[in-house]
A and B are shown apart, each in its own frame.
Chain A
Amino acid sequence: MLIDAHVRPALFEPICRDRYRFNSRCDAMHYHKMNPSGMDLLKKQYNLAGITGVFLLPSDYSFDTGITEISNDDIAEIVAQDPNLYYGFATVDPRNKNAATELTKAFEDLGLCGLYLNTARLHIYPEDTQILAILDICREYGKNVIFHAGLSFERDALSKYSRPIEFESVISKYPGINFCLTHMGWPWVQETSALLLKYPNAYANTALMNFDGPYQIYRKVFLEDMGELWVEHNLSEKILFGSGSPRIRPVRSKRGLDSIGFSEEILEKIYYGNAKRFLGSKEN
C-alpha cells in the first residue's frame, strides 16, 4: 500500500482539452516540453510504483491571472474516474470575494477531501486574515490542509511567504486541523522538522526536487540536513510520501527514498499509515 500525497494533475488528459488553458497552466506552473498523459497510462505508472492512493492538488491564482489553472471542478472530474484511487483537494484564491462560497461548494457539492494553498504564489502570509477566513471553513467542515512550503518553481512564487516557520501561527491556532507542509519546506528543512516535533497536527511530505537526483537528495535532506536519527526517533509518524509528480516520476522518487536505509516499519508509515492518519483527523 502506497499513497502519493503530492501529485499536480496539470497534465492529466481529461482536463487538458482546452489547449489555451493547458498552455497557460503549464506556463504558470513551469512545466515545459511535456504532453498530456492518458488516464490509463497514469494508472500503469502508479501500478509500477505500487501506488494505491493519490492526492490531487489544484491550482488557483485567478485573482491575478483570471484563469483557474486547475480548478475544483477539474479535480472532481478526475476523482470521479476512480474514487478509490484519487483523493481530491480543493483550493480557492482567498483574495477573491467569492472564495468562501467556492470552498463551501467544493466541500459540500464536490465532496473534496481537504484544502491546498500555495502562499508563495498568492503573495500573502499564512496568518493573513484572508487565509484565516478560509481555514475557519476548513475547521467547520473538518477538512485538513496542505500548504506549499519552501521554494516553489512556479511563476512569480516568492519563498518569503512560504517559509515553514511562517505556518507556525496557523498550525498553533487550529489544533484540530492537520496541516501538511510540502517538500519538507526545502531548503528550510530544520524549520519544518521543528514544527513536526512540536505540533501534533503538523505533517510534511517528501516531494523533494531541487539539486541532484532522488538517490542524492533524500540522503542529503534526511541524513545530513536532518540528524540521521530524527525520523526514526521522533518524526516517523509525521512524514508522508509525496513524489511531486510531474516534476519527478513517482517510481523514481520512491526508489530514492527506499535507498537511504529507513527500516521497513518507518517506510510503511511514510508510504501509507501517515497519509491515512493525516486524512482522518477531525476538529477536537
Chain B
Amino acid sequence: MKYLLKEETVCADKEFELIKITNNVRNFVDESGVVNGICFCITEHTTTGITVNESLPCVEKDIMETLDRIIPENYPYNHNHYLDSYGTIGGNAPGHLKSLLTGNHCVFPIIDGALMLGHADDIYFCEYDGIKLRRYMIYVIGE
C-alpha cells in the first residue's frame, strides 16, 4: 500500500476566484503509480474551498454570484472586529462562510491507474479571501 502526499501552491489573480486544478491532481495520480486506490484533494485554509463542478464560464459565474447573494460582503458579521490574537481586523467572514458551503476537500477513486472523474467533473480550488499564496494537498492511497 502506498501513501503519497503532495502539497501544491496556488495564487489567485483576483480576490474571489475559482481556479481549475484538475490537471494537477490527475498528474500526481499518474506520477504515483497507484493502480487502484483513492485520491483526496484538501485545502489547507479556512477561507478557501475545494469543489467539483462543470467547467463552463456561465456555471463558474453562477457559483460565485450565488455565494455572494447568500453571503454578502457588507453584512455585519460577528467576525468583523479587532482580533487581538492576530492584531488585525477580521474582515474575511464571507470567506469563512463560503468555505463552509463548498467544503475543504473532494475525493475520487483511482481505477486502473486513472482518476475516475464524471464526464463533466472538474476540480476547483476556490479562493474566497485573496490575493494570498495558498496551498492544497493531494493525497493518494492505494496499490
**Residue ranges of A at the interface with B (Cβ–Cβ < 8 Å):** 29-34, 38, 41, 44-45, 48, 153, 209-216, 246-249, 251-252, 255, 259
Contacts and interface: CB of A to CB of B under 8 A. Distances in A.
B90 A213 contact: yes
B89 A213 contact: yes
Interface stretch (B23-31, B35-43, B69-77): B69-77
A31 B87 contact: yes
A44 B11 contact: yes
Given A44-B11, A44-B13, A153-B87, A212 B76 contact: yes
Interface in B62-96: 73-74, 76-77, 80-82, 85-91, 93
B86 A215 contact: no
B81 A32 contact: no
Contacts of A29: 87
Q: Is the interface of B mostly helix, strand, loop or mixed?
A: loop
Nearest to A42: B131
Contacts of A209: 82, 88-89
Contacts of B58: none
Contacts of A38: 133
Contacts of B11: 41, 44
B2 interface: no
Contacts of B74: 215, 259
B61 interface: no
27 contacts: A30-B87, A32-B85, A32-B86, A32-B87, A33-B85, A34-B86, A41-B132, A44-B131, A45-B131, A48-B14, A48-B15, A48-B130, A48-B131, A153-B87, A209-B88, A209-B89, A212-B81, A213-B76, A213-B77, A213-B80, A214-B89, A215-B76, A248-B89, A248-B91, A249-B91, A252-B91, A255-B73
